[in-house]
Chain A
Amino acid sequence: MSAERSHDRIEELIALDALVGLDEAERAELAAALVEHGDDCPVCAELLASTADAAAAFAFALEPAEAPDGAEERLIAAASARPVPTFSPAAAPVLTPLPGGADEPTKERRPRSIGRWVAAVAVAAALLVGGISGFVAAPRAPSGTTQFLAFAAQPGTRFASFPTKDGSSLTVAYRPGETNAWIFGSGLQKPAGGKTYQLWWGAKGTPLEGMHSAGVFVPIHGNVVSPVTVDTSQPGTLLGITIEPPGGSPAPTSPPITATTV
């Protein structure tokens, strides 16, 4: 049972997350650990809830600040406005929201550099060697998380991050010349109505209906670590994510909610 596992490292990572203090390596580690424990792990759920409320103490300790004149009416007016149109497959990647994030246009967050992922790979390697999180070293068949960490730790693995907001993250780990890849992320909302996220890939300039399915995934505890299949042999390959009916669709049924290139 997940409750019998050690939660020491998860506790540490959740605390850091509440302080917006996770680096990419730690974010990947937390996502993998939460997925490994599952959506029904009561200890993880309690840690997530109590840590969020504890961090909020810093906000509630401050003297409240009165709103400037008209702030509420400006908010209501903005809420009544239609969301700004988002993605065009022919265009460069545009910041668009994942459900659970905001959907106002803001500055694009650049995909994280490969250099910063050196640390992530190092952590993954350390996890594999040392079994820091416990579950990695557990004497059982390799889990999806273990396979992901092994994949991420191999030389030549690259990472393409999707623009996201509000502390959420979503990244594809891939190796040029290979079609096996992984998507992992955190802070993601589970699509409503049993729907699923679906990852698509296509060469630069591919129309929406010509995109290829790379796989479907649904977050657990807001986190995802899932194998996908992409062909990244061509520079500029476009990756996009849509929300699709259960099981996925043969072709995207809507424009991607977020996209990036490799």
Chain B
Amino acid sequence: MDVTVGSLEEASDRELVGRVTAGDEDAFRLLFRRYGPVARALALRVVRQPFLAEEIVQEAFLALWRHPASYRDDRGSVRGWLMATVHHRAVDLVRREEAQRRRVDAADPPDAVTQDVAEDVAERADLKERRAAAIAALKELPQEQRQVLEMMYYQGKSQSQIAAETGLPLGTVKSRTLLAMRRLRALIGEPS
């Protein structure tokens, strides 16, 4: 395929997925460079073990390489789809290996919302902006709602588990989940 590096760098995520569909390895590499670091951070946050996180990221990107048509542009952004793929794999793994996870659960990573964006000098500018926007959106959520979502998203807990651990009625957990996701959709809601 006759594509210069410059044109690839400027290509949108969806254009890159289109090129991956045609077997363009350079486009695949570029998507990996764009979103691999975030995917790795997510996998690491969920499974807590670097080698498992790396395996999850590799499997997720291999799935993109082998089945790029599984991305549908009417179902959201490429980045959202990629992160959902990584997240599902990570949570599946955590749930399968719950006992192993408990053994390494002592050192809880810092809350993502409290991290300092400005200190990360190596981060790409657009990713930094997206990260700042994500943190700002999460900060907009009432703490009790954010807590429920974080327990589900980062720890892979079910609503029943959260109710049991927090002592909240299951109905309260459900309503907080729905209200928080509704609010988050509105906050994040730029067109994909």
| A→B interface (CB under 8 Å) | 11-12, 15-16, 18-21, 23, 45, 48-68, 71-72, 74-76, 78-79, 83, 97, 99-104, 106-107, 109, 165-167, 189, 192, 222
| Contact present for B188 and A57 (CB under 8 Å) | yes
- When chains A and B are docked, how far (Å) is the Cα of A54 from the Cα of B187? 8
For chain B, the count of residues having a C-beta within 8 Å of the partner chain is: 79
What are the residues of chain A within 8 A of B185 when measuring CB–CB?
50-51, 53-54
Query: B40 contacts which of A23, A54, A65, A189 (Cβ < 8 Å)?
Result: A65
- When chains A and B are docked, how far (Å) is the Cα of A165 from the Cα of B62? 14
Subset of 11 A-B contacts with CB under 8 Å: A16-B159, A20-B156, A49-B77, A51-B185, A59-B86, A61-B138, A63-B120, A64-B37, A103-B66, A192-B69, A222-B75
Name B5-58 residues within 8 Å CB distance of A.
Answer: 25, 28-29, 32-33, 36-42, 44-45, 50, 53-54, 57-58
- When chains A and B are docked, how far (Å) is the Cα of A16 from the Cα of B174? 9
**Count of chain A to chain B residue pairs whose CB atoms are closer than 8 Å in the complex:** 221
- When chains A and B are docked, how far (Å) is the Cα of A192 from the Cα of B70? 10
| B→A interface (CB under 8 Å) | 25, 28-29, 32-33, 36-42, 44-45, 50, 53-54, 57-63, 65-67, 69-70, 74-77, 79-81, 83-89, 91-92, 96, 112-113, 115, 120, 122-123, 127, 130-131, 133-135, 137-138, 149-150, 152-154, 156, 158-159, 174, 177-178, 181-182, 184-185, 187-189, 192
